[in-house]
Amino acid sequence: MSRLPLQGLLVLEFSQYLSGPSAGLRLADLGARVIKVERPGTGDAGRRLSIKDLWTDDSSMLFHTINRNKESYTADLKHPDDLALVKKLIEKADVLTHNFRPGVMEKVGLGYSEVIKINPRIIYGAVSGYGKEGPWKNRPGQDLLLQSMSGLAYTTGNAKDNPMPFGLAIADNLCGSQLVQGILSALIRRQKTGAGALIEVSLLESLLDFQFELLTTYHSSGKLPKRSKVNNGHPLLHAPYGIYSTADGHIAIAMVDIKQLAKAIGCNELMAYDQKVAFSLRDEIKSVLAKHLLTQQSAYWLQKLHAKDLWAMEVLDWERLTKLEAYKVLQMEQTITTSKGKEVTTTRCPIRINGERIFSPKPAPQLGEHTEAIKKELIGKL
């Protein structure tokens, strides 16, 4: 793509691990120049956070997945000379992001009130775990902990199962995405008014927003939602919504009329039920359906269901998914080559602009890789 929409914007990323860097990744994909400001010697703590002991060169695979297409500038924010140079960078920046605990940036003189004195037009994006006020403000903002205490862990699994978290860092990813939304909206306003902005998001607020449907129902009824005893897919939805075993695998069935489903799969026992009892007898209906689906293979059931345009799909793992034409046509993969020559296959930006996909093959930076070049270009000092 000849010109990405954020080309010309300068972002300073004082972020580590996932939430802040995931926001920086998306801004970089969309054309912004993202400079990671890292601690000398160690850098972003995510450089050492391993995924199943997978490493490329001297940084973790995790670091490479969310820090490609960025530059690295090292500075000791507690050292007056380094801090003075960072403030020179802030003078020229459009956006600054950090995901430190409340008070950390203020201690080094880079809180919002200090930064806007340096650059009144800057968009200052701050990520926290629980917000900057209240008794939890200094608790560790870690994804599993947030999933657990936000109620999210009670939405997955069956009724008798223990609380079950998502198998990925959903809080970090959602919060990073919402930070991008806030930054983009503030950039639009700045274009109109010239005013900068403080954008604040937290992992907890992102997860509460994620559960808006469940929380609204709870506030309206005063009752906690209950997971199905069997084949739970969503605590607020009636049968048959869920994932079911077949003779050779699993299929997912979404919102489907009970009578139509019974006819499509030839289940006489299921014909005894109708939509009026789809929630009140949810577990009973699901148990009947689950028993019936075990008698044939997934392909057999999907052919029957799709012939009637009923909502059902096979449950796939990544090995099977990535071999399918429906996956390949999306072109969601890209290969990046690290500075040490190792190739890494990762995902691309999922956004298309005017029909064009966005590929960003530039690898994640080595720690301090661009420090001297940035000093020369943006600060005028070697």
Q: Which residues contact 140 (CB under 8 A, 6 or more apart)?
A: 129
Alpha carbon distance 192, 133 (integer Å): 31
Alpha carbon distance 333, 350 (integer Å): 10
Number of helical (H) and strand (E) elements in the chain, helices listed first: 15, 15
Please indicate whether residue 64 is annotated as part of the active site: no
Q: Specify the DSSP class assigned to residue 364.
A: P
Cβ proximity of 61 and 344 under 8 Å: yes
Alpha carbon distance 189, 17 (integer Å): 29
Catalytic: which of 64, 79, 219, 234? 234
* CA 175 from centroid of its chain's CA atoms: 7
Task: Give the C-alpha distances (Å, rounded to integers) separating 143 from 18, 204, 261.
Answer: 9, 9, 38
Question: What is 289-349 written as a DSSP string?
Answer: HHHHHTTS-HHHHHHHHHHTT--EEE---HHHHTTSHHHHTT--EEEEE-TTS-EEEEEPE
What are the structure tokens assigned to 75, written together?
Answer: 């500075």
Strand segments (E) across the chain:
10-14, 33-38, 55-56, 59-60, 71-74, 95-98, 123-128, 197-202, 242-245, 250-253, 312-314, 333-337, 343-347, 349-353, 356-358
What are the structure tokens assigned to 20, written together?
Answer: 């802040």
Q: Which residues are catalytic?
A: 234
